[in-house]
Structure 1
Amino acid sequence: MTTTRSQYDYDYYIPTLTKVQLQEDLHPGYCREAACVITVISNVIIFLLGITGNGAVIWITGFKMKKSVNSTWYLSLALSDFFFCATLPFTIDYLIKDSWSFGLFLCKFNSFAMTLNMYSSIFILVIISVDRCISVRFPVWAQNKRTVKKASLVVVLAWFVSSLLSIPSAKFREILNESPEICYNNYEDHHKTVVFMRFNFGFLIPFLTIFICYTILIHKLRSNQMSKSTKPYKITTLLIATFFICWLPFQIVSVLELDRSEYNSAFKTAQQVSGTLASANSFLNPFLYAFMAKDLKKKCYSFLSKIESAIDEENRSTFRATSVTSATDNGLSTAV
């Protein structure tokens, strides 16, 4: 079995090995391989852009914009991504030095933070999709019951469930107290269970829920002839598509890893690419907000203005869609 140390550094693509295998296969040495260098550079870029972009979204949605249900969703999504990006320096240091220098608590916490980001992000996207579906399918109820306070409670619940599902990532994280120290996953006989939970609750079930919601949305909008006159779902659609593009390779590699006892260079590269792509999702969202703003081509506003414009446009579009749907439904009821 030929392996190198960089294969075990990053939580998103760490195979399950025994302590004996780790001692036999891992050797001290700084990050010199091309794949390791590229991974480090990628994580540095993700960290810088993620902290800056998500920090801007947190400032805009949390302090500058008027509180709304939509801004609550996007604030929570930005907090999740910001929290993850804030832990990246530990991973970057581990990659460069080829040694874990931060103790057992941070070894577990770093893994917990990464998994928490995955669950909380997808759960918020599911909530946004369900919220859009309810707003169009039951507009009168949505106008009367859709409040910022209730949205905040839903977000807290999503974070609580995400935290519970992220506990295994911390529980099975250990340190091999050799020289150098190694922070690694020791799933023992629970590897399949962890991957099963991660795949189903972090990907499959959310995907099916979002797919059903969007099927209902498209059918309702087309039946009311609203699809050409409103654009309330562009940002949400792009966010969801980006999430699945970034996370699908990681989920596939995680499942394929279950039946492997050896890790060749091709599979190692697949682990590194899928892990980096998954973490890249955390800095993309703020740039998607800016890209979706109407004034992008004019290039006359700052990046922060574009983010605010995109989210504010989403608020207005959702309100218009709900109002039009409500009016249409009321008109049909009167006619009947």
Structure 2
Amino acid sequence: MNSSVSTNSSLSPLSPSELHCPLLQTMISHRVNNDSRVDLAVVSVHGILSALGILENGLILWVLGWRLQRKTVASVWVLNLALSDFLTSLTLPLFTHYLLRGHSWELGSTLCAAQSSIFFLNMFVSAFLLVVISVDRCLLVTKPVWTQNRRTVSAAQKICAFGWAFGAVNTIPYFMFRSVVVKQDGRKLCYHDFALYSSPSGLDMNCKVRYSATAVSKVLLAFVIPVLVIGISYAAFVLELHARRKRLQSIQQNRQNGPRISQSFSKMIIFVIATFVLCWVPYHIVCLVEVMALYKMEYMEVVVVALPVVTTFCFWNSVLNPIIYTFSCPNFSTKIRQSLSSLFEGLVEEVSPTELVSGRRRKSYLMSPISLKTPTTPNIFGIHRDLFASKNQPTNEEERNQCL
């Protein structure tokens, strides 16, 4: 929708096409103070982010989608996560163009709605997949026999399809209310206009309800609940492995060179979760401030200034994820000299639940953020033996640090 605020709006009633919520009215009247040097730096950074995001995620899609000879549950998770990040990376040039044109959206309402929809689709799908990966790892250790009977590539694909449907449904409001409005200084703004489909008499109520509902749903479904589930899942994962390690040590008190699970694994988990939190928590904080601005006008200026900055942090997540996949392994410098196909096959190579607590492959699993195996037929005696045996343990620090 293209509209502008009339200078004599206080003297004549607004037409339905000129109705806007208070926050959008503030954005329409807000003027950007241009600094050519700052603008050049910001546009340059976003240009680099655009290139990196598209190349990195495109490379992962190519390797996992076409070069990987054997699909695994882990590869399905990462393939869908990379696809979500790749779609978001494709919209980064659009956001860069908006900055290049002096914070003015000159690409039309269709691309405005598309860019917004993909951004929010990535937000919901990425959070969903991170939760699924965390729960998958947790169940693989805490319920090994149960997962052996039910954990298949086909099931993983169905779960991912549900995740995309979940994200698409939650993206509908942002597609419906996305609009292009003309600011008082002539620049164009691409933002959600929650006054659409509203009458003048119900404008205030609709603005408050729609802003509050979308903000709370984003914060809960795409951040708070996922972070809680991820934290609980990995806590259960580590506690279960720690308990099994203690049982091993009680049987073999004289073993001096045991696996150091908690320290290295905890560092990796902290790194993965911290990256997700750091990229998204500023955005969700601004979303909550946006709701507060409906009741306290002094917060509106904060939202107007902070929103473009925190949105940039969100885009960083799609660029950093491929780097995390690769550099989470200490022996990356060795693997990088191998072919790309071999590198990513090692990254998503899976081990069985019964091997998690024995030998070099246990450490390989722990250091790989997505190293999960599609199990074979359950073997109760094998599980008991692996839980309380210590064959093929790493013999030096180098082997303990292997993960690919």
Band the TM-score falls in, shorter-chain normalisation: 0.7 to 0.9
Secondary structure at 1:184's aligned position in 2? strand
Partner AA of 2:259 in structure 1: K
| Contact 2:244/2:357, CA 8 A, preserved across alignment | no
Higher helix share: 1
What are the Cα deviations for residues 172-198 of structure 1, in whole angstroms up to 9, with x where unaligned?
211225744332222333111111000
| Contact 1:39/1:276, CA 8 A, preserved across alignment | no
CA deviation after TM superposition for structure 1 residue 329, in Å: 5.5
CA deviation after TM superposition for structure 1 residue 148, in Å: 0.5
| Contact 1:54/1:82, CA 8 A, preserved across alignment | yes
Specify which of 173, 184, 192 is matched with residue 185 of structure 1: 192
Identity across the alignment (%): 31
Change (3 A) 1:146 1:267: same
Alignment coverage as a number of residue pairs: 317
Q: Unaligned regions of 5+ residues in structure 2, if any?
A: 1-19, 195-206, 249-257, 363-378, 389-404
Change (3 A) 1:203 1:115: same
| Contact 1:293/1:306, CA 8 A, preserved across alignment | no
Q: Given the alignment of the two structures, is residue 289 of structure 1 paired with residue 325 of structure 2, yes or no? A: yes
Counterpart Cα distance in 1 of 2:286 and 2:211: 14
Q: Given the alignment of the two structures, is residue 80 of structure 1 paired with residue 88 of structure 2, yes or no? A: no
Structure 1 residues 225-240: aligned runs within 5 Å: 225=245, 228=259, 238-240=271-273
Partner AA of 1:194 in structure 2: T
Instruction: Tell me the equivalent position of 1:301.
Output: 337
Moved more, 168-177 or 300-309: 300-309
RMSD value, Cα:
3.5
Change (3 A) 1:114 1:306: farther
What are the Cα deviations for residues 249-269 of structure 1, in whole angstroms up to 9, with x where unaligned?
211122123223246887665
Counterpart Cα distance in 2 of 1:333 and 1:312: 23
What are the Cα deviations for residues 216-248 of structure 1, in whole angstroms up to 9, with x where unaligned?
111111111189366788766643331112111
Secondary structure at 1:224's aligned position in 2? helix
Q: Given the alignment of the two structures, is residue 102 of structure 1 paired with residue 107 of structure 2, yes or no? A: yes
Partner AA of 1:99 in structure 2: S
Counterpart Cα distance in 1 of 2:73 and 2:267: 17
Using the size of structure 1 for normalisation, the TM-score is: 0.81
Secondary structure at 1:159's aligned position in 2? helix
Counterpart Cα distance in 1 of 2:141 and 2:309: 39
Change (3 A) 1:306 1:253: farther
Highest Rg: 1 or 2?
2
Change (3 A) 1:265 1:259: closer
Partner AA of 1:259 in structure 2: M
| Contact 1:129/1:214, CA 8 A, preserved across alignment | yes
Secondary structure at 1:101's aligned position in 2? coil
Counterpart Cα distance in 2 of 1:310 and 1:248: 32
Instruction: Tell me the equivalent position of 1:149.
Output: 154
Counterpart Cα distance in 1 of 2:126 and 2:106: 29
Change (3 A) 1:214 1:139: same
Counterpart Cα distance in 2 of 1:234 and 1:305: 27
What are the Cα deviations for residues 6-49 of structure 1, in whole angstroms up to 9, with x where unaligned?
xxxxxxxxx9646654553347x9x6455544432232122111
Specify which of 296, 300, 316 is matched with residue 280 of structure 1: 316
What are the Cα deviations for residues 117-150 of structure 1, in whole angstroms up to 9, with x where unaligned?
1111111000000101111111112122211011
Change (3 A) 1:246 1:306: farther
Counterpart Cα distance in 1 of 2:338 and 2:307: 37
Q: Given the alignment of the two structures, is residue 201 of structure 1 paired with residue 221 of structure 2, yes or no? A: yes
Counterpart Cα distance in 2 of 1:100 and 1:109: 13
Secondary structure at 2:190's aligned position in 1? strand
Change (3 A) 1:48 1:137: same
Partner AA of 2:130 in structure 1: L
Partner AA of 1:283 in structure 2: V
Q: Unaligned regions of 5+ residues in structure 1, if any?
A: 1-14
Change (3 A) 1:318 1:282: farther
Using the size of structure 2 for normalisation, the TM-score is: 0.68
What are the Cα deviations for residues 82-131 of structure 1, in whole angstroms up to 9, with x where unaligned?
00010112211122114323322221111111011111111100000010
Counterpart Cα distance in 1 of 2:238 and 2:66: 34
Change (3 A) 1:51 1:328: same
Instruction: Tell me the equivalent position of 2:355.
Output: 320
Return the structure number with greater relative CO, CA threshold 8 A, min gap 6: 1
Specify which of 244, 263, 276 is matched with residue 277 of structure 2: 244
Secondary structure at 1:258's aligned position in 2? helix
